[in-house]
Amino acid sequence: MAKEPLLAVEGLNVGYAGSAALNDVSLAVQAEELICVIGANGAGKTSLIRTIAGIVCPTRGRIAWRGRDIVGMSPWEICELGIAQVAEGREVFPNLSVEDNLLIGGSLKRARGRRDANLRRVYELFPRLDERRRQSAGTLSGGEQQMLAIGRAMMSEPEMIMFDEPSIGLSPALTTVMFDVVKKLHSHRITILLVEQNVASSLAIGDRGYVLENGSIVLEGTGAGLLSNQDVRRAYLGL
Ligand SMILES: Nc1ncnc2c1ncn2[C@@H]1O[C@H](COP(=O)(O)OP(=O)(O)O)[C@@H](O)[C@H]1O
Ligand SMILES: [Mg+2]
């Protein structure tokens, strides 16, 4: 019998004021997998993450975490289950210091008791944040804000982190750093759901992937399999 997935999305529909953003989307994430969802601008990637995070309410379908239905739970309750997200555009609190941003992530019940140890762990992973603990987050560079958003997610000791286009707006060099960070978190046995337009870099590190087009999953496979798929190469890699 197949293992029960950590996260199962089944027949998910999401719409905004009548227009559909996701249509009958199903996917499964096993514990400790790194799963990519690739798709162009407007495909529905952010809607998928925001729906799993409890920010957007689906019109149909089921989202199960360890077999338990989580549709209707608040974003906060979903974070307490161990599902963290690093949002598109980072969404750090610009007027708070770096450290205060991190402490907000560490205020969840699941990780509150180990806050200081987790803070040390984040500063070890991102020494640049350590150097800038007292600086207000709004004055950080784009790459540093991305690190802060990841650090804040890590403060809650998540089992799964959802990344919404972590490479967007970053230089090629910083993009490489960012994918290395995602790989590193995965090597620490954190389950990853990565949505990206950067198809080549994300499929290269993904165990498996799904291709999202106009709100529907049109293809799925291993990272390597999708990377060598003719349709994917033609549509997303210009090959
Ligand atoms: N808050 C919103 N209100 C209305 N339409 C939205 C909203 N958010 C997204 N959409 C629409 O839903 C579709 C999917 O958007 P989104 O999930 O942001 O895609 P992606 O992240 O892949 O670019 C797009 O057509 C977009 O215009
Ligand atoms: Mg998006």
Distance separating alpha carbons of residues 197 and 6, to the nearest angstrom: 24
Residue 128, number of CB atoms within 10 A of its CB: 14
- Asked if residue 163 belongs to a domain, the reply is no
- Asked if residue 44 belongs to a domain, the reply is no
Ligand with an atom nearest the CA of residue 87: 2
Question: What is the per-residue pLDDT for 118?
Answer: 97
Q: Is 91 or 73 the better-scoring residue by pLDDT?
A: 73
Contact partners, residue 101, CB within 8 Å, separation at least 6: 92, 93, 137, 148, 151, 152
Structural domain for 151, as ranges: 92-155
Question: What is the per-residue pLDDT for 2?
Answer: 66
- Asked if residue 126 belongs to a domain, the reply is yes
- Asked if residue 137 belongs to a domain, the reply is yes
Ligand 1, residue 14: give the atom nearest the CA.
12
Ligand 1 centroid–CA 190 distance in Å is 28
- Rounded to the nearest 5 degrees, what angle is found at the Cα of 216, between the Cα atoms of 222 and 54? 95
Q: Is the CB of 16 under 6 A from ligand 1?
A: yes
- Asked if residue 142 belongs to a domain, the reply is yes
Distance separating alpha carbons of residues 92 and 145, to the nearest angstrom: 7
Pocket test for ligand 1, best of 13, 25, 47 (most atoms within 8 A of CB): 47
What DSSP designation does 171 have?
Answer: -
- Asked if residue 75 belongs to a domain, the reply is no
Say how many domains are in the chain.
1
For range 171-177, the mean pLDDT: 92
